[in-house]
Structures are given as C-alpha cells and as structure tokens.
Amino acid sequence: MAPRIDDEESGGRTVSKGAGATPAPAARATGPIGSGTDSAVPQTQPSVPDTTTATPEPETSLPDTETATPEPETSAPGAEAVASDAVPEAVAAETGSVPGADRRVAAVRRLASAGRRRHAAQLVCSAALLAVALTGGAIAVGAARDGGPAVAAASSAVDPGVLGGGNLDAAIASLQTHLRSQPRDSGSWATLGLAYVEQARTKGDPARYPQADKALRRSLALAPGNDQALAGQAALAAARHDFKDTLTYADQALKQNPYSERALSSRVDALVEFGRYTEASRAVDTADTRKPGVPVFTRYAYVHELRGDVPTARRVLEQALSVATSPGDVAYVSAQLGQLAWNQGDYKSALGSYARALAADENYLPALEGRARAQAATGGRDEAIKGLETVVSRYPLPGPLVELGELYEARGAAGDRARARDQYALVDAWIGLARANGVNADLDTALAAADHGDKASALRAARAEWARRHTVHTADALAWALHVNGHDQEALSYARGATATGYRNAAFLYHRGMIELATGHTKDGRASLTAALKLNPGFSPLGAAAARKALEAAR
C-alpha cells in the first residue's frame, strides 16, 4: 500500500506554495508554537530510536531572516538571457494564437466527456492529457470560451489580482493581453509567473513550470531584486521540490520586503520539507506576527499537526475558515479540515468539510479526491471509484491514480486488475512529465513504485530523496522501500523515526508495524498495526486489509 501521493509532500495535502495576500486582515493564530525540542527523524544511518525520545536536529541550520539572509541577486540566474522587448513565445501559445492549439483543447475535452461515461474512454482521456502536456499543448486555456467546465478557482493565497473574478485561466489570458501592450511591466510579469505556478499545481500540469520561470526571470530582468518576483521564484522552486532554492529566494525576498506573505509562507514550507521542524515553528510564528491570514494559518496548523497537536491544528484551521472570504479560500481551508479529520478516522467530519469545500467550488480537486477517500473508508467503494474516475479524467495526478488503482484491486471485479495496471502506468507517465519540467519526483517514485512498480527503482529514489532532506515523509518512504526490497533491519530505524515527532499517520504506523514483524519485534509490530487501524481503519484500500491479515497471522 502506497501512502497518499500529491504534488507536494505536506502530509498528503495539496498546499499552495505560492502564497500571497489575503483580502482582509486577520487576528493572529496564537502565540509561539510548542516548546522544547523536536522529535526529528534520523539524520544519518541511525540506531533504533525510542518513539518517545527526541532526536536532535542538525547543528547547521538556516538563521532567522532577521539576523542573516543572503544578499539578493540583481536578477534570477539567466535573466539577462531573456529578451527585453519581446513577449515570450509561451504567451502567444497560451492565448491560443498557436495554430491547432484550440483543436487540441477541444479534442481533450471530448475525450474527457466520454471518459466520464465509460472507463475505457476515461483512460484514453488521462493518457491524452499527459501526452498533450508533454508536447507543450495548451490544455488549460479558455475553458469557458469553448463551453468547457469552469476552471477550479484557486485559493486567493496566490494573489488576489491574479484571480480577479475567480477564473485563473481568464486572469492569465488578461495578463497576457496586458503584457502585449505593456511588455515592460515587471509587476505583471511576476504576477503571471505566480499564476502559472498555481495553474500547474491545480491542474497537475508541470509543463507550466518552465513558462512560470520565463515570466519570473523577465520580471527580474526588468526590475532587478523586486520582492514579488523573488517570492515567485521561491514558490516555483517549492513546487519543483527544490527546497534549497526555495529558502534562498524566500530570504532574498524577505530582505527586500519583510512582510511578503508569499515569501514568509514559502520559507515555512521549505523548513518543513527539510525536516527542520523547530526552525519551521519559529518561522511560522514570525509569519503569524507579521502577516496573519489564511496562508499563514494553514501552515501554522500543519506545523502543529506534525508534532501531534491535532486539537490546535483543528482550531487554527477553523479560525482560518472564519476569515476566508473568497470561494477559493473557503474551498482550500475546508479541504484542509477534511484531510485533518480523515487522518484521524473521523469520516463524518471529513465528509462535512469536503461538502463545504465543494459547495464553494464544485471543481476543487483536493475536495473531490478527499471525498472519494472518505466514501471508500465508509463502505461506499463504488461511489468512491466513480468519483476518482472523474478526478483522474480531469487531473491525472499520482495520488488519485494510485488510490483508484488500489480500489480496483480491492473490488476485484472482471477487468479490475487490468484497470489498476492502467492507473499505475499513468503514474509513471506523470513522473516522466514532472521530471521533464524540472520537478524532483523521487518521493513520488519511491511511494508509488514500492507497491506498484519497480522495487529497486523505489529504493534508489528513496535513498536519493533522503540524501537531500530528512523529513518524516522521506523517512517513511525510505523505510518502506527498504522493506519491500528485503532490507528490514536497515528499515526499522527509519520507520520508527518517521513516527517519532508524534505525527498521527496510519500509513506510517502500518509500515512500521509490518517492518517490526519482519524483524521479529512481534509485540511492537502488533501494537503498531493495532494503532494504525484504531487511528484510521480505512486508511488504504489495500493496506488496511493487509494490516488486519498480518495481525491475525501474528497471534
């Protein structure tokens, strides 16, 4: 069973990395988060840690922005290579002036419509979406123009000016039109770059990232060191899982503008993704002091959740929901509350939160996917399959593809095994697309391939990701990849380290329990598996059944 896979790690959540200003000021979340030291994951080849014992963080850490930040570059690397007076070709393609672009869009939509009626066409649609994206086709432009469904309204955490009336595609088209007449408007280039990052995230289309990079570099070439573009570069680096650059650009932006909400949020994200949880706690408290609002509140909640403080995480998310004003923000925060409830096995509350998110935005992907997961966990497997088929026909991302494949396997009807294989093959295609557009996809590879692909590839990817960053998620991925490759003794310390911060994740407990049984720690293994099923009995279509079977065999 592979844990949930998403475009960002973030505990199985889709988190908007390019945070921006919210419409209205909000009260702070609370005072400083927590106290004492973190229980961090193992930093080297570790001995078996006690789950209640804190493991110190690395001695080298990034200083607070107030005390030391890198000197800002005058422009992004390579910015001078961007022409100063011509609109990039990507803009022409985005506005539909490339011959055949509208025909490709229409063809994909026809396949999507057919796919919602029957599975075979649905698979073709998903493959077509990936193929068009791989060839640089404009699959997302002008949804309303040719009668397609309205694009999911993104969170206003990106930028209120980008979203305008709530249609991100329309806002991008408007920016492109403006830049044709005002090509030296550095602020609009930065806003366009941020919009491309958000479009890539919400649509699962990494082909947008190179376009975002072009726009942001152009902004920096026109106005060297401007904080809006530097914060956009931080958001882009985070979306590509390049967290070293995320920190660098965020700190450069904060030196120019200490109150940049995007930069403050991206800095928290990067510290979390490096597993530097104590620093992340300090950084999110700084962000809460300087710029309280929806983007900061959601990160504040997640830092608490990682430390096992679910009540505080829930309270802060509810506070974020109370100050959310746009449909995008309501959908975003409600889906976060739904995921938090689902992680604790509270399916009724999860379904309620997802319903609220979808009432605000009926196309919001995390809510559609989360609702299907909760439906599957409460016995509505066929309903969940139908919902996920709709999701992947629109957005063929690794998370819902793996979940749908496992639901097919669990159902076991005629043809379901082949249907499951089709979903896993599409995961490989998405990973290839992501890598082709500058995204580090090693964590996605490790999680998916360990259970549904090349196990040796899973281990190589997990080791590579662990070499870059030490988080609870990379520890869990490495532990499971080691286990499926028969290296259980080595896996044990990583599995225990993944649960050492107090983070309540049933998949982590399941992985730990299976590894403990494999290494002869029968009592511990039974305790971990029991805890996983008690916490979230429907955490996985296949993993929950495997946990119950292992418990029975270990009696």
DSSP 223: S
What's the half-sphere exposure (Cβ side, CA atoms, 13 Å) at 429?
Answer: 24
Query: Is the model's pLDDT at 99 over the cut of 60?
Result: no
Task: Give the separation between CA 195 and CA 162, rounded to whole angstroms.
Answer: 6
For residue 182, how many other CB atoms are within 10 A of its CB?
A: 10
Which H helix or E strand runs over 518? helix 506-518
* pLDDT on residue 164: 39
User: Is the four-CA dihedral 475, 477, 483, 486 of positive or negative sign?
Assistant: negative
Among 500, 527, 505, CA closest to 516: 527
Cα–Cα distance measured from residue 401 to residue 210, given in angstroms and rounded to the nearest whole number: 25
pLDDT at 128 over 90: no
Q: Per-residue pLDDT for 406 more than 80?
A: yes
Q: Which segment of 42-56, 185-199, 298-312, 356-370 scores lowest on mean pLDDT?
A: 42-56
Average pLDDT over residues 423-437: 91
Dihedral of the CA atoms 224, 227, 232, 235 (nearest 10)? 130
**Intra-chain end-to-end CA distance of the chain, in Å:** 22
Is 28 exposed, middle or buried (CB count within 10 Å of its CB: 0-12, 13-18, 19+)?
Answer: middle
Whole-angstrom distance, CA of residue 502 vs CA of residue 11 = 13
**Of 18-32, 156-170, 345-359, where does mean pLDDT reach its minimum?**
18-32
DSSP 354-377: HHHHHHH-TT-HHHHHHHHHHHHH
Return d(Cα 415, Cα 23) in angstroms, integer: 50
Q: 537-551 pLDDT, tens per residue? A: 999 999 999 999 999
Decide if 42 contacts 55 (C-beta within 8 A).
yes
Quote the Cα angle for 261-266-272, to 5°.
Answer: 130
For residue 394, the model assigns a pLDDT of 86
What value does the mean pLDDT take over residues 78-95? 40
Q: Three-state SS for 13?
A: coil
Grade residue 203 by pLDDT with cuts at 50, 70 and 90: confident
Predicted pLDDT at 555: 84
The more confidently predicted of residues 544 and 206 is 544
Q: What is the mean pLDDT of residues 253-269?
A: 97
Residues 6+ apart with CB under 8 A from 200: 206, 207, 208, 209, 212, 239
Closest C-alpha to 364, from 333, 385, 341 = 333
pLDDT at residue 395, as a whole number: 85
Alpha-carbon 316 to chain mean position: 20
CA dihedral 437, 442, 444, 448 (to 10 degrees): 130
Where helices occur in 135-242 by DSSP H, the ranges are 160-163, 168-181, 186-203, 208-222, 227-239
Task: For residues 92-98, give the mean pLDDT.
Answer: 39
Question: Is the distance from CB of 157 to CB of 22 less than 8 angstroms?
Answer: yes
Q: Which residue has the higher pLDDT, 129 or 182?
A: 182
Predicted pLDDT at 167: 77
Q: Residue 28: what pLDDT?
A: 65
Average pLDDT, the chain: 78
Please check the confidence at residue 302 and state whether its pLDDT lies above 60. yes
Scan for tokens 């200003």, then name that residue. 21
Residue 498 in contact with residue 472, Cβ under 8 Å? yes
Token pair belonging to 1 = 């069973």
Q: Is the pLDDT of residue 264 over 50?
A: yes
Examine the pLDDT at 3 and tell me if it is beyond 50: no
pLDDT at 113: 45
**Residue 151: predicted pLDDT:** 28
pLDDT, tens digit, 9 for 90 and up, residues 451-497: 999 999 999 999 999 999 999 999 999 999 999 999 999 999 999 99
pLDDT for position 262: 94
Task: Over range 52-66, report the average pLDDT.
Answer: 34
